[in-house]
Structure 1
Amino acid sequence: MSSIGTLWTIPAQPKGKRIRAVAAFAGLSVDLPESYTHFVDNKKPEFLAKFPHGKIPALETKDGFRVFETTAIATYIAGLAPNSTLLGSNDKELALINQWISFADNEIDYPVTLVNQLLNGFITPYNKPIHTIMVERQNRSLATLEKHLSTQTFLVTERITLADITLASAIQRAVTITIDPALRAQFPNVIRHLETIVNQPALKDIFGPLNYCEKAAQFVPPPKEKKEPKPAPPAAPKAEKKPKKEEEDEEDDLVPKEEVKKNPLDSLPKSTFNLEDWKRAYSNKDTRGPGGSLEWLYQNFDKEGFSAWRVDFKYNNELTQTFMSSNQIGGFFNRLEASRKYLFGSVGVLGETNNSIISGALIIRGQEIKPVIDVAPDWESYEYKKLDLDNADDKAFFEAALAWDLEIDGKKWVDGKNFK
């Protein structure tokens, strides 16, 4: 088989398998890099020069054509072999193929991926309701597939299409994590379809053997750390009885005073702006408009004692699901708890799944950001820029972040958190 170019992927992952299977079924092949380390090689300048978002899978053909996203790559490769049947024979068949590709990705692969991330600590803390909802979503989708496949061998035509390979790659992973023997018994046609696809002569080596789980994966709480009992301290020798006056004279020596460390922010000159009053105004008033919290802020804000800042996450190319990004903001805010009396924040997720950013605004005590936010271990994962509220652009950004209608480069605010 002739190679069409280089595919950057993780070969064992379902999406990498899907692309390689499509190429093999079409009588083509793709080369894999000699070595690839995820989150290392895809952050290097030479990779980002070709694929600026840093995502894999990513394909570069021998004639210099570049494309990323699994379905886009698979569709392009399928189109190179028009007699392969992978894209159907007319527009209606192609529409149905795209329908089942989207269904497999969103209703099977996505729930399984999320469950796997929950169970393996990629999303913390573990959330039982989300786990249950995702399993229910998967099972409802399996029922839809079972009914459809009960009357036909493949999803769209009488031949294997891109939809069948996509579904097989998703189900192969699911049977190792969430589809246990009881579920397999309920959906025999789904399992029959899987086994038919992965055992095709052209695909068998790529998909490899099927590994069925004996029990659906469940959350296992981490073991509690056993604390060794501390040995009792040796009994102190009895002190010699002293006259009462002598005991009173020595009392200060027996109970040393604890040294209280002051936060340097407490040493700043007293401000006329009360941050707690602002937080109450923000919580109880509409943000914009007459009588709103922004109007209250501008009437009371002390630019000498407080400052406004823009905050942006540095690694937006690593963000996936928007609700997970929102949880990340919540975690960052939790780690800022020690600075609650000096800080207000309004930070959000802008964009959509696999194409989002984290950005927002902070109000802090003083004019330097570090003393306020370096209590959070991950504070350096964000960039900070001081805002000039007399500048029209800075003011517009600040107000939009507080009103939760911020938009950056076409990405609209979809979720957010406040630090109050």
Structure 2
Amino acid sequence: MSIVNGTLHTSPEHGLSIPIRAAAAYGGLDLNFAQGFVAYQTNKTPEFLAKFPQGKVPAFEGPNGFYLTETIAIARYVSSFAKNVNLLGSTPEQAAHVDQWLFFGATEINPPMSRVVGPLNGTVPYFKPIDVSVREQLSKSLAYVNNHLQTRTFLVTDRITLADIVLTTILRRYFVRLTGEAERAKIPNVVRFVETVANHPKLKPIFGEVTYPEKAEQYVPPAKEAKPKAPAAAAAAAAPKPKAPKPADDDEDEPLVPAEPKAKNPLDDLPKSNFNLEDWKRAYSNMDTRGSGGSIEWFYDKFDHEGFSVWKVQFKYNEELTQVFMSSNQIGGFFNRLEASRKYLFGSVGVLGAANDSVIAGVLILRGQDVKPVVDVAPDWESYEYKKLDLSNPEDKSYFEAALAWDLEVGGKKWADGKNFK
């Protein structure tokens, strides 16, 4: 395996680096990652900004003062070293078609997809006419790709090119959230294309599993808080209302179609626990968090490790976050969509950092040992990463307590705002 001469400044797991890492993997190239790089921190240092004034990540530093930003530009540069696989095409015509599809993905797929996802994440306001228009635009673009792939396995040649890698990177994010069974049925060639590229033996470790939702994710407005009733109205509402006289024919009261029995939640079948989640919520609300006699002390005294578990939760797409208040609203929207799991769940999640440089992180306390049955009631649950915490581990314990106390700090970013799910 040959080494690309230069240093890639990014964390290996950063989403925007996927096309670069995939191109290198497919071409049998080894990338040098900058040692000790911390996302949203290293790229703010004077040393980094002296080389890359915009502070954009990923960034590439080559020999002789060669500096390069923008994911696709870096991916093209890396691909140029993979001579044996022709990621950029082997003729001028093929190279032009590769560029054509790179621009198509960047202009016709990614922008409308981001406009749809933004309101779902709570990072931009939702306007139904815009959402409908953008989804239609996205559907037309995907229909064009589907038609192009009617007689082709890949976009340009009979082998994978950078165009296939970049478009698959973009589409994976689309499929995970915005294409249900009905939408996928209209673009079978696109589905086959994404699965073919993402499951290539050299690329699967980078792309991971391709998952599909049953239904496309739709915007759900936050629940409105009930306004307190005026005294007179409250008294009137509290007064008993006269019952309507019962019809002589009792048969009229029977429903035409028997009501379906309410589905039982499998979490209700778990063995009984001595830890009462509602008592914890009251303790957290009414006690100081830290210190003797605080809610954290109460928690450790009563917690049942077998019946409940504690999880770290972090938003996957922090690069999309802008204003702190919008990110906080996004947390509120996520919590609203978890309403069906309220009796199984407690959460303390916050926005850490400042405008255009923040992350969403926190903790969940939930019934059972598996996070999915509790959180998958929210359509956007897969937009977050979940990691089970071991409270006997000092690092995990410190993270847990800081999230409860709203003084959690991650990567130098301090708690700016937060919400609780109680």
Could you state the TM-score of these two structures normalised by the residue count of structure 1?
0.52
Tell me, yes or no, if structure 1 residue 48 matches structure 2 residue 46.
no
Cα distance per residue 1:56-76 (max 9 Å; x no partner):
221123665321111110110
Question: Do the aligned partners of 1:172 and 1:210 also contact (CA within 8 Å) in 2?
Answer: yes
Q: Which amino acid aligns with 1:48?
A: L
SS of equivalent to 2:225: coil
SS of equivalent to 1:139: helix
- RMSD over equivalenced CA pairs, Å: 2.8
Whole-Å separation in 1 of the counterparts to 2:26 and 2:203: 7
The residue number in structure 1 matching 2:110 is 109
TM-aligned CA distance change 1:203 to 1:63, over 3 Å = farther
Q: CA deviation at 1:190?
A: 0.6
Whole-Å separation in 2 of the counterparts to 1:11 and 1:230: 57
The residue number in structure 2 matching 1:190 is 190
Question: Do the aligned partners of 1:18 and 1:165 also contact (CA within 8 Å) in 2?
Answer: yes
Cα distance per residue 1:236-259 (max 9 Å; x no partner):
xxxxxxxxxxxxxxxxxxxxxxxx
Number of residue pairs aligned between Structure 1 and Structure 2: 236
Q: CA deviation at 1:148?
A: 0.7
The residue number in structure 1 matching 2:132 is 132
The residue number in structure 2 matching 1:98 is 99
Tell me, yes or no, if structure 1 residue 76 matches structure 2 residue 67.
no
Q: CA deviation at 1:9?
A: 3.7
TM-aligned CA distance change 1:223 to 1:206, over 3 Å = same
Question: Do the aligned partners of 1:26 and 1:81 also contact (CA within 8 Å) in 2?
Answer: yes
The residue number in structure 1 matching 2:372 is none
The residue number in structure 2 matching 1:215 is 215
Tell me, yes or no, if structure 1 residue 176 matches structure 2 residue 188.
no
Q: CA deviation at 1:13?
A: 5.4
The residue number in structure 1 matching 2:161 is 161
Cα distance per residue 1:298-343 (max 9 Å; x no partner):
xxxxxxxxxxxxxxxxxxxxx99xxx99xx9xxxxxxxxxxxxxxx
Whole-Å separation in 1 of the counterparts to 2:196 and 2:110: 19
TM-aligned CA distance change 1:52 to 1:98, over 3 Å = same
Range with bigger deviation, 80-89 or 12-21: 12-21
Whole-Å separation in 2 of the counterparts to 1:227 and 1:9: 48
Q: Which amino acid aligns with 1:20?
A: R
Whole-Å separation in 2 of the counterparts to 1:74 and 1:85: 13
Q: CA deviation at 1:30?
A: 2.1
Q: CA deviation at 1:183?
A: 1.2
Question: Do the aligned partners of 2:172 and 2:194 also contact (CA within 8 Å) in 1?
Answer: yes
The residue number in structure 2 matching 1:379 is none
The residue number in structure 2 matching 1:256 is none
Q: CA deviation at 1:52?
A: 0.8
Q: CA deviation at 1:173?
A: 0.8
Whole-Å separation in 1 of the counterparts to 2:134 and 2:41: 31
Whole-Å separation in 2 of the counterparts to 1:47 and 1:209: 34
The residue number in structure 2 matching 1:6 is 7
Whole-Å separation in 1 of the counterparts to 2:30 and 2:212: 28
Whole-Å separation in 1 of the counterparts to 2:136 and 2:181: 16
Cα distance per residue 1:269-295 (max 9 Å; x no partner):
xxxxxxxxxxxxxxxxxxxxxxxxxxx
Question: Do the aligned partners of 1:135 and 1:178 also contact (CA within 8 Å) in 2?
Answer: no
Cα distance per residue 1:162-186 (max 9 Å; x no partner):
1111111111111012121111111
Whole-Å separation in 1 of the counterparts to 2:105 and 2:197: 15
> What are the within-5 Å matches in structure 2 for residues 222-233 of structure 1?
222-226=222-226
> What are the within-5 Å matches in structure 2 for residues 212-361 of structure 1?
212-226=212-226
SS of equivalent to 2:166: helix
SS of equivalent to 1:67: strand
Question: Do the aligned partners of 1:142 and 1:190 also contact (CA within 8 Å) in 2?
Answer: yes
Whole-Å separation in 1 of the counterparts to 2:13 and 2:189: 25
Residue ranges of structure 1 left out of the alignment (5+ in a row)? 233-318, 329-420
The residue number in structure 1 matching 2:30 is 29
Whole-Å separation in 2 of the counterparts to 1:63 and 1:192: 43
Larger-gyration structure (1/2) = 1
Question: Do the aligned partners of 1:15 and 1:169 also contact (CA within 8 Å) in 2?
Answer: no
The residue number in structure 1 matching 2:305 is none
The residue number in structure 1 matching 2:60 is 59
The residue number in structure 1 matching 2:368 is none
TM-aligned CA distance change 1:36 to 1:214, over 3 Å = farther
Question: Do the aligned partners of 1:180 and 1:216 also contact (CA within 8 Å) in 2?
Answer: yes
Q: CA deviation at 1:103?
A: 0.7
SS of equivalent to 1:83: coil
Q: Which amino acid aligns with 1:44?
A: T
Whole-Å separation in 2 of the counterparts to 1:35 and 1:116: 31
